[in-house]
Structures are given as structure tokens and as C-alpha cells.
Amino acid sequence: MLTPSAGQTRDAALDLIKWLAFASMLIDHLRHVWPSLYWLYIPGRLAFPFFCLAIAANLMRPSAGGGKPFPLRYLGLLALFALLSEWPYRLLVVTPHSLNVLPTLVLGLLIAGGVAQPTVQRRWLAVAALLVALLAHPWLMFGFAGALLPVAFVYALQRAGPNWVWPVLLCLAANYWPPFYIDATRGDPFAVSFILICSVAPLLGLGLLRQPSLGQVPAVRRWAYLFYPGHFLLLVGARALLT
């Protein structure tokens, strides 16, 4: 999932961000098998901003032939697996409050693409995706703010200065849930940790992406799209064996 378009060279920092996103997502979803591990929700907050950063970074990377072509295959695979993943997602999450995360990332890719690669057609696609995200907010995982997070990362990568503040604010908005903030004012460690990691995750991702040399990092290739629905099914199987 979130693999570069054909013709792009590998980026070790970007591959590391993807690996950390997958690891964080898997760790987060373990609590659906072992409810006592509810505290894994905290490290799980790294996954979504890291996936959004991967989208922005892929859009900003030039291909081997120069330029930044819009990744149609990338978009198609995200949309396809958004459909294929909904049933496994609902098997694991018994009372879901939203669709799986991929529809949010599809809209985020379209919106960010209109800014990273601003042709007339891509801008119209971005506007259409923006309207869909606004209307579909109640059903999107991480909501309207989540669909805007990739474009916030595009701004942070395009421009110097304090533009990192936009991914931080949108990450907090995407994860906003009033009880956590009420509990945080009372000094609850879980709630404070939740808000802290949502604030730090975009900065951590941007910092890792800007590292000049990270050595050899295994490439994240197209098998990763299968990982998303596949890990839901594996966790459903594990839960069935334990009950």
C-alpha cells in the first residue's frame, strides 16, 4: 500500500515511514483481539499520519523522466482495496463507526494531487474530492480533517518555515474526541499521551523523511496493498481461536 509510481527511485526514509505505519496499524488493531491491550491505541495513532505523509511524499517525488505525473495506478489500487477491505474490516471491528481508512486516503490523494501537481484537471478532481469528503465526513475514518491531512503534508514539504503546524493541527482535528480532552484536563495519563502522540506524529514523520541517509531499508512494494485486508482476516482468525 502507498507504493511509488513506476519510474521512481526508492527512498529509504519513505520506506521506513511506511514500515512504521504498517507496524503501528497492526499494533493498534491487536486490541480488537485482546481488549486488555487497549493502551495500544496510543502508538496506533502514528499509522494514519504516516500513511498521509507517504501519500504527500510520493506526489512530490519526480519520476525518472522528470516531472511529477499523477499516479493513476496508485489511485486505482487504493480505490480497489478500499472496496475489498470493507468486509474484512467489519469482521474485525464489530461495531464500526466509519468506513475503513482507505476511502479517506483516496480522497486525500485526490485533494493533495491538485496542489502538488496543479493542472486544471487535477484541480477539478481535488475540488470534487473536497466536496465528497465534506459530505461524507460522518462516514469517513478520521473525517474531513483526515482527508485534508495529505495536502497539509504537501504544503509542509513544498515550503520552508513553520508549515509543519498544519499537519499537526489537522492530525489533532482528525483524532478529535471530546472525552479525551476532558480527561486530559484532569491529568489522565492515557488522554494526555493520546494528545501528545497526535501532536508529535507529523513532526516525527517529517523529521524521518528529511534524514539524508538511513542505510538499507527493505522496500515496501505492492504486496502491501494485500496486507491491509489480509491483516484484518488474520486477526479475526486469531480472535476466533482464542474464544
**pTM of this structure:** 0.92
DSSP helix/strand/coil, 34 = coil
Classify each residue of 94-121 as buried b or exposed e, where b means 16 or more C-beta atoms within 10 Å of its C-beta. Answer: eeeebbbbbbbbbbbbbbbbbbbbeeee
- Does the residue 122 lie in any domain? yes
Whether 1 is covered by a domain: the verdict is no
Q: Has residue 157 been placed in a domain?
A: yes
Parent domain of 130 = 12-242
Helices and strands in the chain: count of H runs, count of E runs: 10, 0
Q: Is residue 6 part of a domain?
A: no
**Tens of pLDDT along the chain (243 residues)?**
666 544 456 788 999 999 999 999 999 999 999 999 999 999 999 999 999 999 999 998 765 445 566 678 889 999 999 999 999 999 999 899 999 999 999 999 999 999 988 888 899 999 999 999 999 999 999 999 999 999 999 999 998 789 999 999 999 999 999 999 999 999 999 999 999 999 999 999 999 998 877 778 888 988 899 999 999 999 999 999 998
50 falls within a domain? yes
What domain count does the chain have?
1
Judge whether 4 lies within some domain. no
- From CA 79, how far away is CA 218, in angstroms rounded? 25
- Cell for 13? 526514509
Look up cell 524521518; give the residue. Answer: 208
